[in-house]
Amino acid sequence: MNIQKEKLQSSFILLALVCSFFSITAGATAPALAESAQPAWPTEATQIGTNQALNPVWGTAQNSDISWTYDTKGDVPFTNVIVVDGLAYAGTMMNHIIALDAVTGKLAWQFEADNWIMTNPVVANGKLFAGSGGRYYLPGQKPSKGAIRGTGSNSLYALDAKTGELIWRYQIPGEAMPTPLYADGVVYFVTGDRALYALNADTGTLLYKKELGSVFSMGSINRDGDILVFGGGFPFKVFGFNLKTGQVAWETPLNEVYLGLDDSNPAISNGLLYINGIAYDPPAPEKGQPNPTNPHHVFYALETQTGKLRWTFNAGMYALVDDNKASTPAIVDGVYYGASSESRQFFALDAATGALKWQYNIGVPVKGGPVVQDGYVFFADAKGNVYALEAATGKLVNKKALGGNVNPQGPTIYNGTLYVANQNGKIYAIPVASLLKTRLQAAQPRSATLPQHSQYFAPTGHSVSGAFLDYWQSQGGLSQFGYPITGEFQEYHSQEGQTYTVQYFERARLELHGTQVLLGRLGSEYTAANPPDRQAFRPVSAPTNTTGYFAATGHTILPDFYSYWQNNGGLARYGYPISQPFQAVSSDGKTYITQYFERDRFELHPGPNGNQVLLGLIGRERLNAL
């Protein structure tokens, strides 16, 4: 089934233009571009993990306003979620490649292949490349005897990345489960028929095929300069292939490995490649046979240019998992981050030496790779839990239960949104702050030397500085905004397609647009997905007396609220009303007459001297709702 992407884009652009009109006509200057000139989304993803270090992070944002769940209705997702040019791509066990709008989660297109999709989609020059394949060996054949892996039809596909239309298809005898790699107009991939293929990316024409002898399952290709690296099984070897010569540069046998190396995605950093597999203790010479009764998970580091082994790390063994026995690491700032699905532990190692920095007991197999950003490491397990740990210490920050089974891939982060595909049939877009919100709001001790032009607020333990402090002080201070509840951080706003420096307060969010401070549209954001009273948010007809009626949103303002609105900044401060007045329970557990505006919430509180208008604690509630 194909859905016209252009229609979805047109609808979203129209919505964004309407929202922009409301913001601009609310008395605020049109938002300036963010300090960063980077595009809203990456424009390509040419390999497994999107980069050599296999740390799939894009953008500087630590949070976003994107949050959705897409239900495949049992079409089990099996890959990482890769985002390029605003589309989120994933593959499924029901032979589908799915493209979703990365902001809304709506289906853009779906393509049906000839077999399971286990490769992460690769996107370059407007084309999406993905392989299909069956996971089993051909009947009657043994892996140790040169068997071909890949029952049924197996192919590599090139699709139009925007529409999902087929451009070309190349069929092969074995599965194409490993993720391909795109480089300089050529698509490289290794297969279940024990070969490396190079195809012309535009036409799908075979440029060459190299027989390698080992079978390749889900372990994908990585690249260091002119050297492609990948691991194979039966026999278990790590290969280096020279793109200039078109020949194998080196091959390193790992004779103690008997499982998993062909499923391991090698990460690369500083001239080393990192790969893993299940090994056994070498038997005594007189026995002459492997002894897989003492298996253990081993991490290996080899030189990319020579294949020389630099170090090994024994990750231990708890129990051998059924499939996808290897794991995928990420290398960030000289540290190896990766799980052992067999020992059910997560490790941080010195990437140069293999020395242990810390380990965390998960208790559940983790088969996909982690993602590391801003001092935190995120990963998901086979019980559908998403973890956030301190990258420096391994201390648990948060654990979010999704249910299902995240296997065999892991999460990715784009613009402060964590995307993860789950074998419960769902694909999630989760704001990173939903995993870190307790840290964002955690009180900080008063610094002995505050930055110049800064004020510390002891009740919440946060400071306000610079332009945010100027705005806070000049525009009403405590009564309008409340205390700061976070420090400054980067947040992605999907309507503008920009990342801004923001700071949350009890009653507001301040945003730095270039050099100008603007109020965030918290009222609209907080009520967008789940309005507290749907009837109150429906537009009404213009009354006879149009004072306090706004045709732009179709709502009137309660007279008490209208006076407060006019006297405290009006349209520029609060935006248009987006609901009618209605009864609602506030943060204190009591019920008040309430009305939502684009940027705030008004509440009518009875007092000894009559009714009093107070602003809701919408900043705190919005942050807690992430």
- The mean pLDDT value for 325-347 works out to 96
Say whether pLDDT at 409 is over 90: no
- Whether residue 518 contacts residue 503, with contact meaning beta carbons closer than 8 Å, is answered with no
Higher per-residue pLDDT: 285 or 228: 228
Q: How far apart are CA 576 and CA 556, in angstroms?
A: 9
pLDDT at site 5: 36
**Cis amide leading into 408 (omega within 30):** yes
Terminal-to-terminal C-alpha distance of the chain: 33
Condensed to tens digits (0 to 9), the pLDDT of residues 466-490 reads 999 999 999 999 999 999 999 999 9
Q: How far apart are CA 426 and CA 74, in angstroms?
A: 8
10 Å Cβ neighbour count for 292?
14
Q: How far apart are CA 569 and CA 587, in angstroms?
A: 24
Q: How far apart are CA 485 and CA 442, in angstroms?
A: 8
Q: What is the DSSP letter of 64?
A: E
pLDDT at site 290: 55
Q: Which residues contact 573 (CB under 8 A, 6 or more apart)?
A: 27, 475, 480, 519, 599, 600
Task: Looking at 302-364, list the stretches that DSSP marks H as alpha helix, in order from N- to C-terminal side.
Answer: none
Q: What is the DSSP letter of 260?
A: S
pLDDT at site 446: 86
Condensed to tens digits (0 to 9), the pLDDT of residues 537-591 reads 999 998 877 778 999 999 999 999 999 999 999 999 999 999 999 999 999 999 9
Nearest to 50 by CA among 413, 429, 492, 340: 413
Nearest to 523 by CA among 555, 567, 489: 555
Say whether pLDDT at 30 is over 90: no
Condensed to tens digits (0 to 9), the pLDDT of residues 49-72 reads 999 999 999 999 999 999 999 999
pLDDT at site 547: 77
- The mean pLDDT value for 143-159 works out to 93
- The mean pLDDT value for 530-536 works out to 93
Phi first, then psi, for residue 91 (nearest 5°) are: -115, 155
Q: How far apart are CA 292 and CA 342, in angstroms?
A: 14
Say whether pLDDT at 218 is over 70: yes
Residue 291: band (very low, low, confident or very high) from pLDDT cuts 50, 70, 90: low
Residue 38: band (very low, low, confident or very high) from pLDDT cuts 50, 70, 90: low
pLDDT at site 32: 37
Six-digit token string for 10:
């047109």
**Cis amide leading into 139 (omega within 30):** no
Three state DSSP letters for 332-347: ECCEEEEEECCCCEEE
Instruction: Fill in the amino acid letter for 93.
Output: M
Bridge partners of 257, per DSSP, are 279
**Cis amide leading into 606 (omega within 30):** no
Instruction: Fill in the amino acid letter for 441.
Output: Q
- Tracing tokens 């003492």 back to the chain, one arrives at 294
Burial class (CB in 10 A: 0-12, 13-18, 19+), 447: exposed
* Cα 342 off chain centre by: 25
pLDDT at site 289: 54
- Whether residue 63 contacts residue 33, with contact meaning beta carbons closer than 8 Å, is answered with no
CA separation (Å) from 249 to 124, 207, 210? 27, 19, 12
Q: At 51, is the secondary structure helix, strand, or coil? A: coil
Say whether pLDDT at 35 is over 90: no
pLDDT at site 341: 93
Q: Which residues contact 186 (CB under 8 A, 6 or more apart)?
A: 198, 199, 200, 201, 207
pLDDT at site 141: 86
% the chain with pLDDT above 90: 82
CA separation (Å) from 326 to 21, 155, 186, 262? 52, 24, 28, 8
| DSSP sequence for 354-382 | --EEEEEE-SS---SPPEEETTEEEEE-T
Six-digit token string for 316:
């231990």
